[in-house]
């Protein structure tokens, strides 16, 4: 074999060995991150990896010249640099909530539960008759700020004579954070009850959307809370308890997920630190209260572009190339860790069906044609809550039913206001309980 080929073969072998060493050290670092739950912002794992790399280099460097002894340190240096990028924050570690909105005054209320939440009030406007009962809006998330798209819809409802209140659930938007172990679906229900009580206006109507609809459904299953609610609009709910969360099933008509243009803007998941932290949390390998990335830092890091595919899934496939901008970078807020924590408490909870069957609060279920939610999550509520008086299947819209496209906001508002005023429904009562088997069989 020619000398040149021998040298190239040896060089390739050394490069492969060095690469394998780097990969092995990085993999070991990630394993330690999981084992230590990210202790010390990841520096506990980093120190262990550096120590192992130094010991390995010392052992390999024995009986070599001083220059030869430096070579074994190179893979360790590369691995240490890569691991260090996971340990060093690139955003502030203290909470930086969004700036105040210019379109509505932001208040902060301390609830009897201890939560301090951001509150938005839209008094009734326009020429429509004033409605005496306040309307409370629960946004989706679960721990997320209210988008500007939702704020516009709330103004529409106020323009129809409703006294509209909305609050961002603890940890979301401009509301104060909670200790991680205090986030739970039970706490969310207690906060709703405390909020309605603090309004001091007697019973309230409540519109719950997505995870907000889950909170509302759980509230209907609690007689002490349900007694403070006059009417409930359950819009596009997710799973409400452990048995429902474990249900597999179908979704609505095709959404824009996978076909919509990629959302522009910075992504936290393009930064090694947050890609590792959020990825491991999503896989359940890091706890929401991990030591790698604190709650406040995670909130500061997460961006709207990180939810790009989830946003697309909230629209029909036909709208893939005209998805509206739901929020601004300045107003967007999402707590991935707290949301995972709330979702886990739902998965761990027993069935609410026995209590929901005793519900007497008049309710309406809203379903989107292109829903990204599992239909069985939604139809289970219909089956178990005898007080659901009507179901409104909204054609031509995805999970985010009021989205500013065409007349979607107008149609959603018409459905909601008709129910709240006990007027005839704009759409057929569909699917009724007897229609559910055919509804699921036809993949609607």
pLDDT of 128-138, one tens digit each?
A: 889 999 999 99
- Determine the pLDDT at residue 55: 84
Length of the chain: 444
- Determine the pLDDT at residue 249: 84
Q: What is the DSSP string of 217-272?
A: HHHHT-HHHHTTEEEEEEES----SHHHHT-----SS-BSTTTSPPPPS--GGGSH
Find where tokens 């060093």 sit.
88
Q: Where are the domains of the chain?
A: 3-87, 106-441
Question: Residues 6 or more apart from 310 whose CB is under 8 A from it?
Answer: none
CA dihedral 60, 62, 64, 70 (to 10 degrees): 60
Centre a 10 Å sphere on the Cβ of residue 144 and count the other Cβ atoms it contains. Answer: 26
- Determine the pLDDT at residue 414: 97
pLDDT, mean of residues 334-361: 96
Asked if 385 and 220 count as a contact pair (C-beta separation under 8 A), the reply is yes
- pTM across the whole model: 0.92
CA-based torsion, 85, 86, 89, 90: positive or negative: positive
Which range (41-45, 186-190, 361-365) has the least confidence? 41-45
Rounded CA separation 212/197 (Å): 18
How many H helices and E strands in the chain?
17, 8
345 pLDDT band, cuts 50/70/90, is very high
Rounded CA separation 145/259 (Å): 26
On average, the pLDDT of the chain sits at 92
pLDDT, mean of residues 75-80: 82
* Nearest residue to 101 (alpha-carbon basis) of 145, 46, 45: 145
Q: What is the DSSP string of 132-156?
A: SS-EEEE-SSSSBPPPHHHHHHHHH
Residue predicted with more confidence, 284 or 76? 284
DSSP for residue 317: G
- Determine the pLDDT at residue 80: 85
pLDDT tens across 167-182, in order?
A: 999 999 999 999 999 9
What is 106-441's CATH superfamily?
Alpha/Beta hydrolase fold, catalytic domain (3.40.50.1820)
- Determine the pLDDT at residue 237: 97
- Determine the pLDDT at residue 128: 84
- Determine the pLDDT at residue 65: 55
Rounded CA separation 353/155 (Å): 35
Rounded CA separation 311/313 (Å): 5
Asked if 370 and 254 count as a contact pair (C-beta separation under 8 A), the reply is yes
């Amino acid at each position: 074999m020619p000398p040149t080929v021998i040298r190239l073969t040896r060089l390739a072998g050394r490069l492969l060995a060095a690469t394998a060493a780097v990969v092995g050290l990085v993999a070991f670092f990630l394993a330690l991150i999981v084992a230590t739950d990210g202790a010390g912002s990841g520096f506990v794992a980093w120190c262990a990896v550096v120590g192992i790399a130094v010991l390995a280099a010392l052992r390999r460097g024995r009986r070599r010249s001083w220059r030869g002894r430096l070579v074994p340190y190179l893979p360790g240096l590369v691995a240490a640099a890569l691991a260090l990028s996971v340990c060093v924050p690139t955003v502030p570690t203290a909470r930086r909530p969004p700036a105040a909105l210019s379109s509505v005054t932001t208040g902060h209320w301390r609830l009897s539960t201890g939560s301090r939440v951001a509150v938005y009030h839209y008094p009734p406007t326009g020429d429509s008759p004033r409605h005496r009962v306040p309307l409370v809006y629960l946004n989706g998330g679960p721990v997320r700020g209210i988008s500007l798209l939702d704020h516009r819809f709330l103004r529409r409802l106020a323009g129809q004579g409703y006294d509209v209140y909305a609050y961002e659930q603890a940890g979301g938007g401009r509301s104060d954070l909670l200790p991680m172990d205090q986030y739970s679906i039970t706490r969310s229900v207690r906060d709703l009850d405390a909020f309605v009580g603090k309004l001091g206006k007697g019973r309230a109507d409540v519109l719950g959307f997505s995870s907000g609809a889950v909170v509302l459904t759980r509230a209907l299953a609690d007689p002490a809370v349900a007694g403070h609610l006059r009417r409930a609009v359950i819009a596009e709910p997710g799973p409400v308890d452990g048995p429902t969360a474990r249900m597999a099933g179908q979704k609505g008509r095709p959404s824009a997920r996978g076909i919509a243009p990629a959302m522009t803007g910075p992504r936290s998941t393009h930064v090694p630190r947050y890609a590792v932290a959020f990825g491991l949390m999503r896989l359940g390998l890091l706890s929401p209260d991990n030591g790698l990335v604190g709650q406040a830092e995670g909130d500061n890091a997460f961006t709207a572009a990180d939810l790009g595919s989830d946003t697309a899934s909230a629209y029909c496939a036909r709208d893939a190339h005209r998805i509206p901008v739901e929020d601004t970078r300045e107003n967007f807020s999402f707590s991935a860790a707290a949301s995972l924590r709330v979702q886990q408490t739902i998965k761990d909870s027993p069935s609410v069906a026995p209590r929901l069957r005793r519900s007497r609060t008049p309710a309406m279920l809203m379903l989107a044609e292109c829903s990204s939610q599992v239909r069985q999550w939604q139809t289970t509520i219909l089956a178990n809550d005898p007080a659901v008086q009507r179901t409104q299947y909204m054609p031509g819209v995805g999970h985010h039913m009021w989205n500013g496209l065409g007349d979607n906001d107008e149609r959603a508002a018409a459905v909601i206001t008709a129910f709240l005023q006990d007027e005839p429904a704009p759409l057929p009562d569909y699917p009724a309980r007897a229609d559910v088997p055919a509804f699921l069989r036809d993949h609607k």
